[in-house]
């Protein structure tokens, strides 16, 4: 269990496992963003992205480590991950790049598009969700990297902000997260 998974679930929410999200259920997911944007989201709610792999919507993942990589072009000290509760509504599985509803799923009656892990759509092989209506998303908390000293190093210059994408060869136990509400 990851540190961010060690919390009591909100009433009615379930952890999203590896299986497809079920219509009408509420799940805990994650959204990577900047510190500045996180404050705006907490104050005013999410603004949907106008486009992307799945078209218009708010992009989330059940995989906190995937969310921690975003935004891709920013240094890690400027990133945070929002832990959210999502009512997924009616879910459409999009499992190939040429899927006929890849960007039009909402126009065809769906509330969430779900890309399963390891289907070839996402380079990392991790799952992704796109939620049409930001009102279906409630922010539960903020996760940020915690300054940790790398093992076997004694000098103060060895401190760093650590995220999963920094080095996959490093044992997972050093990826500690500071979770705040």
Question: In the chain, what are the domain boundaries?
Answer: 3-172
Stretch 57-78: mean pLDDT, rounded? 88
Is 3-172 CATH 3.30.450.40?
Answer: no
How large is the average pLDDT for residues 132-151? 80
Q: What percent of the chain has pLDDT over 70?
A: 70
Q: Which residues contact 126 (CB under 8 A, 6 or more apart)?
A: 61, 63, 65, 66, 117
Q: How far is the C-alpha of 68 from the C-alpha of 73, rounded, in Å? A: 12
pLDDT at 151 over 70: no
Does the structure show a pLDDT above 70 at 154? no
pTM for this entry: 0.73
Taking the chain, what is the end-to-end CA distance rounded to the nearest angstrom?
19
Interval 163-177 mean pLDDT: 36
Rounded Cα–Cα distance for residues 160 and 65 (Å): 17
The answer to whether 15 touches 9, Cβ cutoff 8 Å, is yes
Cβ neighbour number for residue 113 with a 10 Å cutoff? 27
Winning range, highest mean pLDDT, from 1-15, 52-66, 138-152, 158-172: 52-66
Quote the distance between the C-alpha of residue 145 and its chain's center: 14
pLDDT band per the 50, 70, 90 thresholds, residue 158: very low
pLDDT at 163: 43
**pLDDT band at 75, cuts 50/70/90?**
confident
Whether residue 71 is predicted with pLDDT greater than 60 in this model: the reply is yes
Average of pLDDT values for 30-59? 94
At 51 the pLDDT is 87
Q: What is the pLDDT of residue 177?
A: 39
Mean pLDDT of 40-63: 94
**Collapsing DSSP states into helix, strand and coil, what is residue 59?**
strand
């Amino acid at each position: 269990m990851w540190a961010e998974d060690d919390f009591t679930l909100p009433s009615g929410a379930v952890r999203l496992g590896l299986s497809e999200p079920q219509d009408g259920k509420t799940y805990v997911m994650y959204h990577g963003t900047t510190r500045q944007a996180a404050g705006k989201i907490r104050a005013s709610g999410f603004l949907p992205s106008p486009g992307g792999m799945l078209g218009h919507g708010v992009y989330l993942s059940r995989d906190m480590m995937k969310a921690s990589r975003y935004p891709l072009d920013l240094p890690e000290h400027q990133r945070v991950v929002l832990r959210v509760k999502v009512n997924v509504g009616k879910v459409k599985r999009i499992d190939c790049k040429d899927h006929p509803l890849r960007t039009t799923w909402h126009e065809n009656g769906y509330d969430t598009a779900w890309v399963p892990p390891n289907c070839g759509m996402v380079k990392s092989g991790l799952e992704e969700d796109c939620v049409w209506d930001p009102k279906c998303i409630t922010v539960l908390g903020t996760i940020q990297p915690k300054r940790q000293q790398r093992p076997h190093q004694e000098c103060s210059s060895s401190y760093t902000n650590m995220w999963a994408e920094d080095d996959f060869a490093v044992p997972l136990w050093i990826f500690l997260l500071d979770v705040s509400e």
